[in-house]
């Protein structure tokens, strides 16, 4: 049955003139999973557009003999996230309308997933061994079904094979330059020498100038919005100050700057953002 479904996908890809990277091994019947036996043009086209966008980074991320089983895009806490299931692990990367993929990147071995259940609104929710949760929202209905099927099949196979690699935390950070694992709490890649912003470094800078984080990380589309918001708070504070509301003006500035610093600190704790790759060849994906 699987071979038949794979043949249907290959036929449809050929009809549409779509070519996948020969450097990546796909399980076509689950990557392009529409309704089995009924591979539709629009379903294949939409999934191909997503897969093609991330192929450049997948070529570098995937390990030897690693096969891609599932690809989809959803949201975790209002941030667009691409999830990739392989025969060895889950891969996660950020995405937005300006960039198909960007740092931070994460890897989760199946042995580190305690359960995969529905959240209270029916979306997939992973509970990890270390107690953390990941709830995927804005997830296509068909992909929800395929995700659970693929996850269950791979988990059972790896349990039988006793595949349980040692980790420093359930959701491991990956280097955005060479994609090696960055053990917790490392902020320097031992493989390529890249260094990453620490929570203290970024938090302190954002406490002084809130838009700093977005400009430093070259997230220009967010940076300008952040700058406008910051200037609006500044204008509000000076307006209050002109009416001798000194205490209120300072309160507004402290709250706005401290909030930005806490957000930046939290981001640097959860992910790794490249600070410097000097002395080494930088990946084309480094931000």
Of 179-183, 223-227, 275-279, 281-285, the poorest mean pLDDT is in 281-285
Q: Which of 140-144, 235-239, 244-248 has the highest mean pLDDT?
A: 140-144
Paired residues of 221 in beta bridges: none
In which band, very low, low, confident or very high, does the pLDDT at 285 lie, cut at 50, 70 and 90? very low
More confident: 140 or 60: 60
The answer to whether residues 261 and 203 touch, using CB atoms and an 8 Å cutoff, is: yes
Peptide bond into 104 cis (omega under 30): yes
- What is the arithmetic mean of pLDDT over 150-164? 95
113-125: pLDDT as tens digits: 999 998 888 889 9
CA 272 to centroid of chain Cα atoms: 11
Please give the span between the terminal C-alpha atoms of the chain, in angstroms, as a whole number: 43
- pLDDT at 15 exceeding the cut of 60: yes
More confident: 122 or 150: 150
Confidence at residue 240, expressed as pLDDT on a 0 to 100 scale: 72
pTM: predicted TM-score of the whole model, two decimal places: 0.86
Instruction: Please give the backbone phi and psi of residue 90, each rounded to the nearest 5 degrees, phi first.
Output: -100, 140
Confidence at residue 263, expressed as pLDDT on a 0 to 100 scale: 87
Mean predicted lDDT score pLDDT of the chain: 86
The answer to whether residues 123 and 141 touch, using CB atoms and an 8 Å cutoff, is: no
Q: Between vectors from CA 22 to CA 43 and to CA 83, what angle results, nearest 5°?
A: 50
- pLDDT at 279 exceeding the cut of 60: no
Which of 168, 149, 167 is CA-nearest to residue 157? 149
Structure tokens at 73: 């895009």
More confident: 79 or 204: 204
Mark out the alpha helices in the chain (DSSP H runs).
2-16, 28-31, 41-61, 141-160, 199-208, 212-216, 220-242, 246-270
More confident: 211 or 160: 160
Please report, for the chain, the start and end positions of each structural domain, with discontinuous segments joined by +: 2-174, 195-276
Task: Return the CATH fold of 2-174.
Answer: PH-domain like (2.30.29)
Confidence at residue 230, expressed as pLDDT on a 0 to 100 scale: 73
Confidence at residue 250, expressed as pLDDT on a 0 to 100 scale: 76
Confidence at residue 90, expressed as pLDDT on a 0 to 100 scale: 97
187-209: pLDDT as tens digits: 999 999 999 999 999 999 988 88
In which band, very low, low, confident or very high, does the pLDDT at 223 lie, cut at 50, 70 and 90? low
Is 193 in a helix, a strand, or coil? coil
In which band, very low, low, confident or very high, does the pLDDT at 286 lie, cut at 50, 70 and 90? very low
Confidence at residue 282, expressed as pLDDT on a 0 to 100 scale: 43
What does the alpha-carbon distance between residue 276 and residue 287 come to, in Å, rounded to a whole number?
A: 10
- What is the arithmetic mean of pLDDT over 269-273? 93
Q: Which of 8-22, 47-61, 127-141, 209-223 has the highest mean pLDDT?
A: 47-61
């Amino acid at each position: 049955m699987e071979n038949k479904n794979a043949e249907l996908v290959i036929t449809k890809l050929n009809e549409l003139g779509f070519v996948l990277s020969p450097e990546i091994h796909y399980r076509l019947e689950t990557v392009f999973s529409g309704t089995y036996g009924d591979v539709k043009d629009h379903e294949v086209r939409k999934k191909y557009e997503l897969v093609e966008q991330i192929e450049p980074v997948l070529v570098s991320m995937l390990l030897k003999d690693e096969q891609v089983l599932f690809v989809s895009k959803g949201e975790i806490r209002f941030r667009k996230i691409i999830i990739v299931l392989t025969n060895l692990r889950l891969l996660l990367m950020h995405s937005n309308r300006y960039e198909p993929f960007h740092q931070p990147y994460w890897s989760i071995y199946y042995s580190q997933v305690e359960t995969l259940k529905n959240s209270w609104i029916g979306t997939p929710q992973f509970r990890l061994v270390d107690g953390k949760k990941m709830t995927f929202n804005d997830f296509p209905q068909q992909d929800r079904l395929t995700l659970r099927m693929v996850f269950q099949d791979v988990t059972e196979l790896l349990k039988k094979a006793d595949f349980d690699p040692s980790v420093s935390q359930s959701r491991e950070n990956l280097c955005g330059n060479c994609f090696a694992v960055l053990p917790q709490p490392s902020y320097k890649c031992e493989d390529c020498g890249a260094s990453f912003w620490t929570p203290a470094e970024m938090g302190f800078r954002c406490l002084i100038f809130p838009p700093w984080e977005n400009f430093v990380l070259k997230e220009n589309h967010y940076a300008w919005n952040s700058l406008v918001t910051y200037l609006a708070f500044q204008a509000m504070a000076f307006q209050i100050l002109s009416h001798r509301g000194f205490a209120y003006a300072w309160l507004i500035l402290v709250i706005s700057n401290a909030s930005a610093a806490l957000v930046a600190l939290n981001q640097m704790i959860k992910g790794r953002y490249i600070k410097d790759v000097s002395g080494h060849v930088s990946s084309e994906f480094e931000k």
